[in-house]
Amino acid sequence: MESVLDNHEELKQVVENVAEVAGYLWQKGWAERNGGNITVNITEQVDESVRQLPAISPVYSIGTTLPHLKGCYFYCKGTNMRMRDLARWPMDNGSVIRILDDCATYVIIADKPVKPTSELPSHLAVHNYLLAKGSPYRASLHTHPIELVALTHSKKFLEEDVATKVLWSMIPETKAFCPRGLGMVPYMLPSSVELADATIKAIDDDYDVVMWEKHGVFAVDTNIMSAFDQVDVLNKAALIYIAAKNMGFEPEGMSDAQMKELSDVFGLPK
């Protein structure tokens, strides 16, 4: 069966990267059952032949109007689909959608009528915000990293930038590769408009990775591998912190002076 990926090498590479990341999420235990979602803006990889593809689904409502997404295309993980399956068969467990001109509806155009995640409105709202501000970010990732989620069961880590400072101090690479830190959003109903709005507000406060209390993380970056890398680095820092606590002591962490030196030398934003 012909796929939209055939003869579209750039698009194929984007989807293969999504499949690779999906496999990592499963291997790490961050994607139980159908947990987690990936949505990538692939408009820049879409040529005229793809634009001419007919819809293979009914017209679906997004549930809101997103004016900056007019005519955009996205690859989305399917609803109730498992990351471990997406890793092997990305076009059976995800699909390509086209946002229609009313900016409030979409259709599936390839390869199969796999309806996107129920969290699609939240993801698309973030993408709309990113395009509106001229951001180069095209990928969004939601996943459930065990140690980062564990931190949110302690109220002290929910305070602004408390977790950021602790995680940065565990190992220099955390600050170097996640220089904007970790935003915090208090618990809200999954898939809700309120959660989407709070996530956008946190990103607007200059975070690339946002922690949803007792739920998971939402990360954005230029591509899906970079979004995964940020979460992976932050969770490694959480693992180091928890390992030290399990050894019976409070980890000392890098000092403020050491972290400032790191920021100054490498020109980090925070």
Q: Where are the beta strands (DSSP E) in 50-116?
A: 60-61, 73-77, 94-99, 105-110
In 128-165, which positions are buried (b, 16+ CB within 10 angstroms) versus exposed (e)?
Answer: bbbbeeeeebbbbbbbbbebbbebbeeeebbeeebbbe
**Cα–Cα distance between 115 and 234 in angstroms, integer?**
31
194 is catalytic: no
DSSP string, 178-220: -TT-EEEE----TT-HHHHHHHHHHHHTT-SEEEETTTEEEEE
With beta carbons less than 8 A apart as the criterion, state whether 159 and 250 touch. Answer: no
Q: In the block, which residue shows the tokens 């050894």?
A: 247
**Cα–Cα distance between 92 and 112 in angstroms, integer?**
7
With beta carbons less than 8 A apart as the criterion, state whether 151 and 163 touch. Answer: yes
The burial class, CB within 10 Å (0-12 / 13-18 / 19+), for 252 is exposed
What residues have CB less than 8 Å from 42, skipping those under 6 apart?
A: 11, 14, 73, 74, 75, 96, 138
Q: Choose the catalytic residue: 119, 160, 194, 252.
A: 119
- Catalytic residue ranges: 119
